[in-house]
Structure 1
Amino acid sequence: MSHRPHDEPTAVYRLYDATGVLLYVGASWNPEFRWEQHRTRKHWAHLVALRTEEWHPDRPSALAAEKAAIATEKPVYDNSWRHSQTGDRPEWLDPGGKQTVIYGLTSEIDAGRYAVGHVLQTGPVGRRFGVARATASSAMNEMTDRGLLKLWYHGRYRVLASRPSLN
């Protein structure tokens, strides 16, 4: 919940993929800042190719427009399920991206690119493999189960082994 005034101009923004598919609709006083949050936190952020903004004179009118847009335009990553008892929670993870991170990091560790003890962070790993931080984190958690990494501190993992365990 924001403490900003409700009479401040607010944008309804839409995020599209390269083929024009609507991925997400949101509302914000600062869509650029909000995009940066999505870019680092959402598993689907790497799919975004276009952002549009539609400005409204105040927050209540923007929130009404956002709600109507979600209901009629049906974005792929629709958050309206949070506000209803019947909505299905969308898949939050990019399974293909997760496997890309697991394969890529495992290969790099196996090849000696990272020494035991080296620290890897979910944000930079996600950017390098073109996935969201959540997807990189999920991949790195799975690599922890395989004995390659250990969660060290808030999104930072230490390399534990130079090869995956066979158990």
Structure 2
Amino acid sequence: MTNTRTALYRFFDADGRLLYVGITTNPDTRWASHKRSAAWWPLAERVTVDWHSERKDALAVELRIIRTEAPLYNMGGAPSPLRELAPGEQLCPMASADRFFAETGDRFGKGRMHMHEAIADVLCLDIREGRLPVGAACPSGTELVRRFGVSLGTVRRAMGHLVDAGLVVRRGMGSGTRYFIAEEAPLLSAGWVPARLRNPGQSDR
């Protein structure tokens, strides 16, 4: 790993909530990329930057922040519960491997699903077996974070899969977003299966 002076940056919204954490050697270029494509960019009101003399040190801090502060939009970067701890890190309740595996079984390992896919599959089963009845409000993001032991970003990504599958409908925007079981949800004889597992070679990351 190259030892390069690296910036660790954090974007916050107007209420001080941490939106995103990342690292870069060129903040201006990286932020221009966020401005073009990041859903959270319009919400950003403040940014902090801390420079580290080595990239590995910035990576360690980034991991610790993701695991313990749960940025709202670090979806793809949210670490797996199998990933080793950063130096000096203590696991927090929002990164519980025991809770995740108790709820998702072997979907993550033998099933070859990503974390957000495994959660979507479990919730699909809840819908199919009537634990989440048609028209009912889905559990809140906080409740699902507590249930599965993952970040809010991972929960949101899982819900996005169910919306795309027509099982769940999204109402509202931003912090007022709510999810409901679709009135005309498709009848499924099996659980939700990621497209990349139905069609090998396709990526859902």
With the length of structure 2 as denominator, give the TM-score of the two structures.
0.40
Larger Rg belongs to:
1
Relative contact order, CA 8 A, sep 6+: which one is greater?
1
